[in-house]
Chain A
Amino acid sequence: MGDTNTATAAAPSANNDDHLIEIIGMHKWYGDFHVLKNINLNVKKGERIVICGPSGSGKSTMIRCINRLEEHQKGQIIVDGIELTNDLKQIDAIRREVGMVFQHFNLFPHLTVLENCTLGPIWVRQTPKAEAEATAMEYLSKVKIPEQANKYPGQLSGGQQQRVAIARSLCMNPRIMLFDEPTSALDPEMIKEVLDTMIELAETGMTMLCVTHEMGFAKTVADRVIFMDGGEVIESNEPHAFFENPQHDRTKLFLSQILGH
């Protein structure tokens, strides 16, 4: 699979210090079903990666393995120097550093927007409440909804909820952000506000892995686009080359299907 590596990935593997995420020969099965096959992926600090592919290709499963929402059965995942094993301490250590934004937002409906944002810092990082609230308001301002702080998630629109979810993750001060189809559940007019938030986040130098079908976002923001199909990484390239000159037939077919209309 490594034949399409670009200049950005050409650094020798001996220099692993700046790799925030290393996935080496990772496999995953659901029962007898082989969902992920020999995944190898290195993510450098500050790198922004977009993962695309047809539904069922394993792209969500792959990023969910990175913070152990799914367990892999073979291979290694090393996040920020910590290897993911069954050791709960290590899993918690990794989860503290990895923020995740979900397709269906998964905000806590019984807590206000502000409480959603301060819960993690207060209970996981033992931040004093006042400090956590100040940080939360700062991030809510960055996602442009500070005025909604005392509302409940159910009172917000989908786009607003997803921006709260992004702010909630950022309040934990993560080193890596995972996005699992963040705009797929949104009405078209709300997709832009969420993508704008993500673009601003990318500009701050955050390391991001994003599963999305938003190819415009991939073109403007991504350092690398990864195409997955059938549980394998088929192609990995910088966006210009990926869209202009796809190497594999399956990539060409996929691109023609989603860009062709």
Chain B
Amino acid sequence: MSEVQSYAPGTHPDMEAPVGQRGIMLWLRTNLFSSWANTLMTLVGIYLLYKIIPPLLHWVVLDSVLNANNREECQALGTGACWAFIKDRYKILIYGFYPIEERWRVNLSFVLLIFALIPILFDHVAMRKPWLIFSGIFPFIAAWLLLGGFGLAHVGTDEFGGMMLNTVVGVTGIAFSLPLGILLALGRKSHLPIVKSISVCFIEFIRGVPLITLLFVASTMLNYFLPPGTTFDLLLRVLIMVTLFSSAYIAEVVRGGLQAIPKGQYEAADSMGLKYWQSMRLIVLPQALKISIPGIVNTFIGLFKDTTLVLIIGLLDVLGVGRSALADAQWNGLAYEVYVSIALFFFVCCFSMSRYSIYLEGKLDKGYKR
């Protein structure tokens, strides 16, 4: 160990770092045992995991019951979760009270939705342009498939329910609130006094009111204002309210991004002779939206979870049908299973959005990092 080797200048070889300064030992030392306080917290953490994970594993997997006809059978077969209940009722959680023989239309709409999203979410797909045209007409196809008419049996929006209803409200809200929010953000920064004051009033009013209030207005008060006899679909009113609500938040997030664009960018675009909409579309918004991605996705995630609020005005979303399933005498009292399943549905959707946003940030960050 103590042997001293000497090298001529410039010939010193690369050597391995000493044990404890590299690999897993280094990782353990720096991350888990760097001080006595960290060591203590590591040990407490290990103890908590030991207390939580095994029971959870037992409840979810080891002691759970997949096949049973009612609650008594479930409890006789195992002490864990009674997934048989969910297995029995998952269709109603997904489709609500959508007519059974028409449910293929919901499935088809969902597959087409994924198909329509691909060229929007990823820019290196083959034939992106014609594909995007399909994405543009997808909302009409989906409306036709879900509502019927033109050869398909009519399904009223009062028959929409379950996860399908949450998805309809969430996707519609997201798709329409982004462009509307961008317009509002630009309006708020506009030099035209009328455009500016309308945008400011709209944003401040909508943001200042709880979504539930807006939904109540949508479900009840609009009838006072509309001429008697006009029917205005409840789901459509909800879609409009949710879109307006979320667009006000998007507008503020995008405005934050706009503030971050240096004045020189506007000046360079102006001095080139670009018109207002050209400089917004080509120069300002691509940069501002990139900065705003975390906030925009945050708003979308919030919007998607808020779709459960439609329960309060009597639409049977996934939470609503879940509660009605709980009232069934045969399966009485299996609230954990239902709510865990619903939570999982929302988590998967929201976590996907979050991952996509991180992917997008990483992709857009390439190239022009300074």
Chain A residues with CB under 8 Å of chain B are 67-69, 92, 95-96, 98-100, 102, 104, 106-110, 119-120, 123-124, 152-155, 168, 172
Contacts and interface: CB of A to CB of B under 8 A. Distances in A.
Contacts of B265: 106, 108
A154 B370 contact: yes
B275 A172 contact: no
Contact of A102 (B267, B286, B368): B267
Given A68-B270, A120-B273, 15 more contacts: A69-B271, A92-B273, A98-B271, A102-B264, A102-B267, A104-B264, A106-B265, A107-B268, A108-B265, A109-B368, A119-B274, A124-B274, A124-B278, A154-B370, A172-B272
Interface string B272-292: 111100100011001100100
Interface residues of B, number: 22
B369 interface: yes
Contact of A155 (B267, B278, B282, B368): B368
7 contacts: A67-B271, A92-B275, A100-B271, A119-B282, A120-B274, A124-B274, A154-B369
Interface in B324-370: 364, 367-370
B272 A124 contact: yes
B76 to A, nearest CB: 64
A123 B262 CA distance: 22
Tell which of B270, B271, B283, B290 has the most Cβ of chain A within 10 Å: B271
B271 A123 contact: no
B287 A120 contact: no
Interface of B: 262, 264-265, 267-268, 270-275, 278, 282-283, 286-287, 290, 364, 367-370
Given A108-B283, A110-B368, A123 B267 contact: no
Contacts, number: 66
Contacts of A107: 268
A187 B276 CA distance: 34
B193 to A, nearest CB: 15
Contacts of A106: 262, 264-265, 267-268
Contacts of A153: 368
A100 B267 CA distance: 10
Contacts of B290: 110
B270 A95 contact: yes
A254 B283 CA distance: 40
B286 A119 contact: no
B274 A123 contact: yes
Nearest to B287: A110
Given A69-B267, A102-B267, A110-B286, A120 B368 contact: no
A86 to B, nearest CB: 12
B369 A120 contact: no
Contacts of A155: 367-368
Contacts of A108: 265, 268, 283, 287
Contacts of B271: 67, 69, 95, 98-100
A78 to B, nearest CB: 18
A152 B367 contact: yes
Contact of B272 (A68, A120, A152): A120
7 closest residue pairs by CB, A with B:
A106-B268, A106-B264, A152-B368, A95-B273, A154-B370, A100-B271, A120-B272
Contacts of A95: 270-273
A124 B268 contact: no
B264 to A, nearest CB: 4
A134 to B, nearest CB: 19
Contacts of A120: 272-274
Contacts of B270: 67-69, 95
- Residue among A69, A109, A154, A172 with the highest chain B CB neighbour number at 10 A: A109
A152 B262 CA distance: 17
Contacts of B274: 119-120, 123-124
B334 to A, nearest CB: 52
B355 to A, nearest CB: 23
A229 B368 CA distance: 40
Nearest to B264: A106
A218 B286 CA distance: 39
A53 to B, nearest CB: 21
B273 A119 contact: no
A236 B85 CA distance: 91
A201 to B, nearest CB: 17
